[in-house]
Amino acid sequence: MKFIFVSLLALCAVALTTSERPIAVRPKPPTTTALPLPKNKFSVISPNTIRRNKDFTIYVRALDVKSSTNIKIVLASDDGSYSIEKSVRLSASTSKYVGSFDTSSLPDAATGFTLTVTSDDYTESKPVTFVTKENSVFIQTNKGIFKPAEVVQYRVFSIDSESNAYDPKSPVTITLTDPRNNEMGKIENAEFVNGKFQGEWQLPSKPILGTWKLTLKYSENEPPVEKTFVVKEYTLSMFTASLSVPSQVPYSSSQLPITINAEYTFKQPISGIATITITNNGATWTKNISCTEKSTTFFVNFVKDLGLTSAGYNYLTVALVFIDPKTNTKVTDRKQVQIVPFTYRVQLINEHIFKPGDKIKYTVVTKTLDGKPAPKIPVDITINDELVTTLKTGSDGTAEDTYDTSANVTYLRIEATCNECNSNMGYLSSYGIRPSQGIKLELVTQNPSFNNQVDIYATTSKPVDYFFYFATAKGVLVDYRKVYFDEDDDPDNDPTTVQFSIYPDFTYAPSTRIYAFYYDKNGAQFYHTNLNVIFKQELPNYLNLKLKGADKTGNTVVKPGTNISLTIQSKAYSVVSLAAIDQRYFFPKLCNPMIIKIYRSILQKKALLGP
């Protein structure tokens, strides 16, 4: 055994000394020293831009203050030519510092700055853009196209870097040049008042036509501002030609009247050839008409010429091509006509709410397709699919009748029909009716006006604690309230009467409808009424703007590329000027502000304006 053990040791020694494979030795890990964490951490908040003669305010907040420390705030130019610093000691009990730098001595050559806040063991910095521009200007003209000898009216607006009115300190020069760059007028040292200068120039009677230019120079360091407008002659057409056709024609007539109106600009008749083309679902009819008068009328048989054998609804397209033989000038026009299967229109006028058991009244009106009264037309009246009577309209095309409703009927459908008329229906419901004895409103104030208290008297058929009302003007809610009958603190006050008041401003114009209602729990009945308050005084001029983001939240801070909506409310026929200004650089991106004319027909559809 001893021999075997010695032999094994010898073999192991030989293997270790003769092996070519290196022996892996695990190295000792190096000795490292942990870096100390900063004792204090800071957050720096400041504007991203710095402007001359505007205080540059900074906000330093200590996120983790463990001990009192000194911090150094340095504002240095990127080219190293300028720096200014502040040293502040921030104690452990103080978590913030607010201060500002005087920017009056900043160099013009600097393009950017860096703000750095440093403590013993922590540093934070941020870039700052240097804006040397003190103000921006833009020019507005009263219109974009002028005729010779007209007066060009213009206004110049000046704002500072915070969009406030700014009167330029350096001389301002305004120059007018024609399309050949000839100087046609010049104003030196234009005096601004509250950031605005306005003037006008008379154009010559025979100017050079084309693009004219207003040039404004207000600073040696800034490029001039330009505004262009066009001067040109208005050339009227030598003659006009148009079609006159009815919008609807009954199929029973089979005739389509067509009138060609052609005349020279000076109202003299024109002689020429008019080509009329009528199309319907692939069918085409063409005819040349010789015109020698201002108006030429002829008829087309659309049943024979276009093959309309069905008395249904059809659409015809009528096209005109008129050529003046003197000048060989061509004028075109196009109209559309509907062929309908009836000769007259019948209209049913009725109430929409009825009380079961009461007598209802209704009126039928018959008219021709061009809106004239159609007398002596028999009209069948059907109520809830039952023929109840036949009325014949009078000389004015109207007829009236009544109908006794049943006590158990809650819904009525009235239909008026005749042989050569289109049918017309009316619907009546007993739901939501206003009881004859419920609540009543009475206007106390005579001739109500804006900005003055308007008193209203409310009376109920039985004592109640309170009622509600809301007021609308132009479809917009302007007021709402809960009115208590004991709000006057009068112990002898009638519990069924109360006087309340509204305080209208111009948004209540031209009239405000007040809806009052309450619910009787005992009788399980809903009572309501309404009162229309009309303001006859002239509506003062005003301007109300509402800007909304695409998310409908009302937040005007939106991301680039986001659509925003602007609602403009003003007196009818007002002219509103809008200018969009880029606040990042305070330079107008839209030098020609939009001019918006407030037309009654447009804004009344959107419930924005009254008369």
The rounded distance, in Å, linking the Cα atoms of 474 and 567 is 15
Is 151's pLDDT higher than 90?
Answer: yes
* Better-scored residue on pLDDT, 482 or 311: 482
Please write the tens of the pLDDT for every residue from 343-354. Answer: 998 988 887 777
The rounded distance, in Å, linking the Cα atoms of 533 and 509 is 9
Q: Based on C-alpha coordinates, what's the Rg of the chain?
A: 43
Q: Can you give the pLDDT at residue 178?
A: 94
Is 256 buried (19+), middle (13-18) or exposed (0-12) by CB count in 10 A?
Answer: buried
Q: Can you give the pLDDT at residue 598?
A: 44
Judge whether 192 and 158 are in contact, CB under 8 Å.
yes
Sign, CA torsion 472/489/459/483: positive
The rounded distance, in Å, linking the Cα atoms of 203 and 216 is 19
Is 323's pLDDT higher than 50?
Answer: yes
The rounded distance, in Å, linking the Cα atoms of 439 and 531 is 11
Fold exhibited by the domain 135-231: Immunoglobulin-like (2.60.40)
Please write the tens of the pLDDT for every residue from 65-76. Answer: 667 778 888 888
Q: In what helix (H) or strand (E) does residue 246 lie, and over which residues does it extend?
A: none
**SS3 of the chain: helix, strand, coil, percent, to 5:** 5, 50, 45
Q: Can you give the pLDDT at residue 139?
A: 93
Please write the tens of the pLDDT for every residue from 80-90. Answer: 778 888 888 77
> Over pLDDT 70: what percentage of the chain?
75
Detail the DSSP E strand segments found in 369-423. 378-383, 386-392, 398-404, 411-417, 421-422
3-state secondary structure of 367: strand
Domain 239-340 and domain 345-414, same fold? Reply is yes
pLDDT class of 326 with cuts at 50, 70, 90:
confident
Delimit the domains of the chain by residue range: 42-131, 135-231, 239-340, 345-414, 439-534, 543-605
* Better-scored residue on pLDDT, 154 or 352: 154
CA atoms within 13 A on the CB side of 180: 5
CATH homologous superfamily of domain 439-534?
Answer: Macroglobulin (MG2) domain (2.60.40.1930)
Is 177's pLDDT higher than 90?
Answer: yes
pLDDT (average), residues 302-312: 85
The rounded distance, in Å, linking the Cα atoms of 117 and 101 is 14
Is 374's pLDDT higher than 50?
Answer: yes
Amino acid 422 reads N
Measuring CA to CA, which residue among 367, 315, 343 is closest to residue 253?
343
The rounded distance, in Å, linking the Cα atoms of 103 and 113 is 12
Cα torsion 474, 477, 479, 484 to 10°: value is 120
Please write the tens of the pLDDT for every residue from 258-285. Answer: 999 988 877 777 888 899 999 988 789 9
Residue 409 has phi, psi (to 5 degrees) of -95, 130
The rounded distance, in Å, linking the Cα atoms of 487 and 497 is 11
Contacts of 342 (CB under 8 A, 6+ apart): 250, 420, 421, 422
Please write the tens of the pLDDT for every residue from 484-524. Answer: 887 554 445 567 888 888 988 877 877 899 999 887 777 66
Is 138's pLDDT higher than 50?
Answer: yes
Measuring CA to CA, which residue among 133, 130, 132, 139 is closest to residue 158?
139
The rounded distance, in Å, linking the Cα atoms of 260 and 244 is 6
Mean pLDDT (the chain) is 78
Please write the tens of the pLDDT for every residue from 190-219. Answer: 999 988 999 999 999 999 999 999 999 988
For domain 42-131, give the CATH number.
2.60.40.1930
Q: Kindly give the pairing relationship between strand 564-570 and strand 543-549.
A: antiparallel
The rounded distance, in Å, linking the Cα atoms of 117 and 71 is 7
Q: Can you give the pLDDT at residue 393?
A: 92
Q: Can you give the pLDDT at residue 41?
A: 66
Judge whether 157 and 177 are in contact, CB under 8 Å.
no
Q: Can you give the pLDDT at residue 274?
A: 92
pLDDT class of 134 with cuts at 50, 70, 90:
confident
The rounded distance, in Å, linking the Cα atoms of 14 and 474 is 111
Q: Can you give the pLDDT at residue 548?
A: 66
Judge whether 542 and 483 are in contact, CB under 8 Å.
no
The rounded distance, in Å, linking the Cα atoms of 608 and 596 is 15
For domain 345-414, give the CATH number.
2.60.40.10
Amino acid 81 reads S
Please write the tens of the pLDDT for every residue from 28-61. Answer: 444 433 334 455 566 777 888 887 777 788 877 7
* Better-scored residue on pLDDT, 302 or 603: 302
Q: By mean pLDDT, which of 131-145, 316-330, 435-449 is the weakest?
A: 435-449
Q: Can you give the pLDDT at residue 561?
A: 65
* 345's tokens: 């229109």
Contacts of 200 (CB under 8 A, 6+ apart): 151, 152, 153, 154
Amino acid 1 reads M
Q: Can you give the pLDDT at residue 487?
A: 55
Is 120's pLDDT higher than 90?
Answer: no
The CATH number of domain 239-340, selected from 2.60.40.1940, 3.40.50.10890, 3.40.190.10, 3.30.420.40: 2.60.40.1940
Measuring CA to CA, which residue among 187, 50, 57 is closest to residue 110?
50
The rounded distance, in Å, linking the Cα atoms of 126 and 44 is 8
